[in-house]
Amino acid sequence: MTGRIEIRDLRAFGVHGVLDHERERAQPFSVDVDASLDVSSAAESDALGDTVDYGALASAVAAVVRETSFALLEALAAAIARRVLAEDSRVTRVEVVVRKVRPPVAVDVGSVGVRVVDVRRA
């Protein structure tokens, strides 16, 4: 039985961006993560040890946003995807959306973002 762990709108501050003023201080980012895995053992046992701990995943994702710095959202999203795959070998596929909540654009937008997908290689 396949399933996925979903983290929605994780908020963390980080220093990411191309423009000088974006690199001077932390700004808010929003992250969504879909981590695919086999959930059959967890569905049967009802035990946390048989699944991926979404709390641990959320902490790992927030750490990437806070502790790294990238010019592009694509690079940040890819780093998050790699971290999620590294956190638990049961994750077989990960989709990450990173949104800049206060983007430096001349029009009124709620956010701008990118979406990346990565899969575990054998």
Catalytic one of 52, 100, 113, 116: 100
As beta bridge partners, residue 37 has: 3
Angstrom distances, CA of residue 95 to CA of 56, 70, 107, 111: 17, 19, 28, 18
Task: Give the DSSP letter string of 6-31.
Answer: EEEEEEEEE---SSGGGGTS-EEEEE
Q: 102 an active-site residue?
A: no
Q: Which sequence positions are flagged as catalytic?
A: 100
